[in-house]
């Protein structure tokens, strides 16, 4: 079927809240390229929203999945476990920087990992409250919608959210929130809203994902760790988008040297197969009773095979080094664009987790320009995503394994689009 036929079916049968606004349908893909149902070639700078750090259909992952399909597809690991689950748990325990000996629970999605992290924290502490941050994003289930630091579009239409979730400011110096401001706000939340003796955990992303790719400083993360220790609260770090090599480390928290009590992960850990995990200190993870954690599909044998293959690829292909090199190249290009376009500001990156902002003449966020840029890029064969609390951030999540020539082609499209959208905007206001 072609794009037009598929769009007709989408309009008729897919719920509007779940339907993509995109009119092109993926037919096949390889590394950083996708071909749609009409045969058009498209460069992918989104990577399934950070899921494809080692590219579409990495050969080693594809082969591991095929091999597993010839063995076992499903038993439900709580009914009859299998080697893949315990091997993934072993590997994640070895590479995840939590305090002490790590134990693992596998789930299906990032939101599910966060839900279970809160369950575990409440069981381990006997407390209810959870503190999260402005701009944070943790998922679309009810608990994670309550934890998100942005209302629209995630929680706009869905009524009351679960209670015992409180908010503190995330440090974003470019938006006027210093580390000192954020830490003061966090302490104020503990004073005015969430009594420390009733607070199970502080949950934060070391680099905001949907919130605009702002990285918390090592100093701030260490201060949060110290505050948790002072009051007997757990530190939960959400690495769903920032993990698995995006920042030049396997996990972004490693840049700070801080060891959390629980780390959640998903997205690129299986290169496109659905799986997530929470890894935590053994005493914390063992706090709840038998059969209290799990689900029908958690830790699917096929997805576990993909995770093990991904970890091998990271070692064999020096993925972390490639992430750092890619981030440097993006940073250099951002600097050039800031000099060439008044609307481009605040270029930033931690490894290949990179972004810049689009602003008006007076420096205010320009979400309309961001939308226009992404739309124009799609018309020219490039998938590009915006994000941020104000919707004016352009983020880069292309595979770390992207070929040099494809990267340069995509960056060239962005530069061309910037010239066109800025020019059309100037003409409209003239």
Q: How far apart are CA 86 and CA 2, in angstroms?
A: 43
User: What pLDDT is attached to residue 155?
Assistant: 84
- Predicted local confidence at residue 25, as pLDDT: 98
Q: What is the pLDDT of residue 156?
A: 85
- 72-78 own/partner pairs: CB under 8 Å, 24+ apart: 72/301, 73/300, 73/301, 73/302, 74/297, 74/300, 74/301, 75/301, 76/296, 76/297, 77/106, 77/294, 77/298, 77/299, 78/291, 78/294
Of residues 398, 105, 53, 394, the one with CA closest to residue 251: 53
Note the pLDDT of residue 422.
84
Q: Where in the chain are all domains bearing CATH 3.40.640.10? A: 62-316
pLDDT, residue 411, reads 98
pLDDT for the residue 189: 97
Q: Residue 154's pLDDT is what?
A: 84
3-54+319-429 belongs to CATH 3.30.70.100: no
Q: Which residues of the chain have pLDDT under 50?
A: none
Look up the pTM and report it: 0.96
Quote the pLDDT of residue 151. Answer: 85
Determine the pLDDT at residue 272. Answer: 96
How much is the pLDDT for 425? 61
Give 315's contacts (C-beta < 8 A, 6+ positions apart).
none
Q: How far is CA 2 from CA 9, 18, 381, in A?
A: 11, 20, 17
How confident is the model over 105-142, as pLDDT tens digits? 999 999 999 999 999 999 999 999 999 999 999 999 99
pLDDT at 108: 98
Does domain 62-316 match CATH 3.40.640.10?
A: yes
| Neighbouring C-alpha atoms within 13 Å toward the C-beta of 251 | 27
Domain with CATH 3.90.1150.10 in the chain: 3-54+319-429
**Which pLDDT score is estimated for 179?**
98
């Amino acid at each position: 079927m072609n794009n037009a036929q598929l769009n007709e079916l989408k309009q008729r049968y897919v719920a509007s809240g779940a339907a993509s606004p995109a009119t092109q349908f993926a037919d096949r893909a390889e590394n950083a390229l996708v071909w749609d149902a009409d045969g058009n070639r498209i460069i992918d700078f989104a990577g399934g929203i950070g899921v494809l750090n080692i590219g579409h259909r990495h050969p080693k992952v594809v082969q591991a999945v095929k091999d597993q399909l010839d063995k076992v597809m499903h038993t439900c690991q709580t009914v009859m476990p299998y080697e893949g689950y315990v091997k993934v748990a072993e590997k994640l325990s070895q590479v995840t920087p939590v305090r002490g000996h790590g134990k693992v629970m596998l789930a299906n999605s990032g939101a599910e990992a966060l839900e279970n992290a809160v369950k575990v924290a409440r069981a381990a502490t006997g407390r209810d409250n959870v503190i999260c941050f402005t701009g944070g994003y943790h998922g679309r289930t009810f608990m994670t919608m309550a934890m998100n630091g942005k209302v629209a579009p995630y929680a706009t239409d869905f009524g009351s959210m679960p209670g015992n979730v409180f908010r503190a400011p995330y440090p974003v110096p470019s938006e006027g929130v210093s580390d000192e401001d954020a830490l003061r706000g966090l302490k104020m939340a503990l004073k005015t809203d969430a009594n420390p003796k009733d607070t199970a955990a502080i949950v934060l992303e070391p680099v905001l994902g949907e919130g605009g790719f702002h990285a918390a400083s090592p100093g701030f993360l260490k201060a949060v760790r110290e505050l948790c220790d002072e009051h007997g609260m757990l530190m939960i770090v959400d690495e769903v988008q920032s993990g698995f090599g995006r920042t030049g480390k396997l996990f972004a928290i490693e840049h700070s040297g801080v060891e959390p009590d629980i780390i959640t992960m998903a997205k690129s850990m299986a290169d496109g197969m659905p799986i997530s995990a929470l890894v935590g200190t053994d005493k914390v993870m063992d706090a709840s009773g038998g059969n209290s954690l799990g689900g029908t599909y958690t830790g699917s044998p096929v997805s576990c095979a993909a995770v093990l293959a991904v970890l091998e690829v990271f070692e064999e292909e020096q993925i972390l080094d490639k992430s750092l090199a890619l981030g440097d190249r993006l940073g250099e290009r951002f600097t050039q664009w800031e000099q060439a376009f008044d609307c481009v500001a605040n270029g930033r990156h931690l490894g290949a987790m990179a972004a810049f902002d689009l602003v008006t003449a007076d420096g205010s966020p320009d979400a309309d320009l961001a939308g226009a840029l992404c739309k124009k890029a799609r018309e020219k064969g490039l998938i590009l995503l915006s994000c941020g609390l104000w919707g004016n951030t352009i983020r880069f999540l292309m595979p770390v394994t992207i070929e040099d020539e494809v990267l340069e082609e995509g960056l060239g499209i962005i530069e061309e689009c910037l010239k066109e959208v800025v020019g059309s905007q100037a003409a409209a206001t003239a």
